[in-house]
Amino acid sequence: MLIEVDGVSHTYGDGPLARTVLRDVSVRMTEHRIGVIGANGSGKSTFARLLNGLVLPTAGTVRVDGHDTRTDGRAVRRRVGFCFTDPDAQIVMPTVREDVAFGLRRRGLAKHEVAARVGAALAAYDLAGHADHPAHLLSGGQKQLLALASVLVTEPALLVMDEPTTLLDLRNARRVARVVADLPMPVVLLTHHLDLLADFDRVLVFEAGRIVHDGPPAEAVATYRDLMTRDQP
């Protein structure tokens, strides 16, 4: 998996309301576990959304395994799974099993293959006992695992997660983190939970739309803490 972000700037809106949130960001990513940290509003979510074409850069290019998100969005979205903060917004179908199956609807798979894949995903993420329960009755942690299962059942080559543990309590956050640690595909994880990044290969620190630090987790977290305790300019 190769992610190439090349000279990317991004501005939301135009005219007097224009707001530039990423400024000339360039980074090449091949690592298995990549963390992204930074203050509120520093541009992390915008950066993450660039990686699957949910946001197209105002300038520069983003390529995933050679596919440009601007010209080849469909191919990119097939490769890149995305997990959001709020599980309620990601769950589409009323019951657990149906939601996991939903992602496979248009893949042209035979019924028994869908059932097999869904069953395997439910078992893998500890949801088999809730297969036919209404999704809204699950706990927050279970909902997030369901959202994750629904994305992973389509077997993405890369998973991008925007603060998947922010709404969860410590126990559920750990559960989700354990699942993420065992995933076979590369993961880009945005988070304010710095302890989740301890085993990561590489951590990017964002500040005011730029990558201000790029390195192993201990260093990056130290830089970030330092940045956050400095007086506001």
Ligand X SMILES: Nc1ncnc2c1ncn2[C@@H]1O[C@H](COP(=O)(O)OP(=O)(O)OP(=O)(O)O)[C@@H](O)[C@H]1O
Question: Which amino acid would we find at residue 96?
Answer: V
Q: Is there binding between residue 150 and ligand X (CB under 6 A)?
A: no
Give residues in contact with Mg ion (CB under 5 A).
45
In the block, residue with structure tokens 């209404």: 134
Q: Is there binding between residue 40 and ligand X (CB under 6 A)?
A: yes
Q: Is there binding between residue 228 and ligand X (CB under 6 A)?
A: no
Q: Is there binding between residue 19 and ligand X (CB under 6 A)?
A: yes
CA distance 89 to 1: 28
Could you tell me the smallest distance in angstroms from the CB atom of residue 88 to another protein?
A: 6
Q: List the interface residues with another protein, window 48-107 (CB under 8 A).
A: 52, 54, 73-74, 77-78, 81-82, 84, 86, 88-95, 98, 101-103, 105-106
Q: Is there binding between residue 225 and another protein (CB under 8 A)?
A: no
CA distance 161 to 82: 6
Q: Decide: 91 and 150 in contact? Cβ < 8 Å.
A: yes
- Relative to beta strand 210-215, strand 202-207 is antiparallel
CA distance 206 to 87: 25
Closest CA to 157 of 25, 44, 65: 65
Q: List the interface residues with ligand X, window 67-86 (CB under 6 A).
A: none
- Out of Mg ion, ligand X, another protein, none, what residue 172 binds, judged by CB under 5 to 8 A for its kind, is none
Could you tell me the smallest distance in angstroms from the CB atom of residue 186 to another protein?
A: 17
Closest CA to 176 of 211, 144, 218: 144
Instruction: Give residues in contact with another protein (CB under 8 A).
Output: 52, 54, 73-74, 77-78, 81-82, 84, 86, 88-95, 98, 101-103, 105-106, 132, 134-136, 150-151, 154
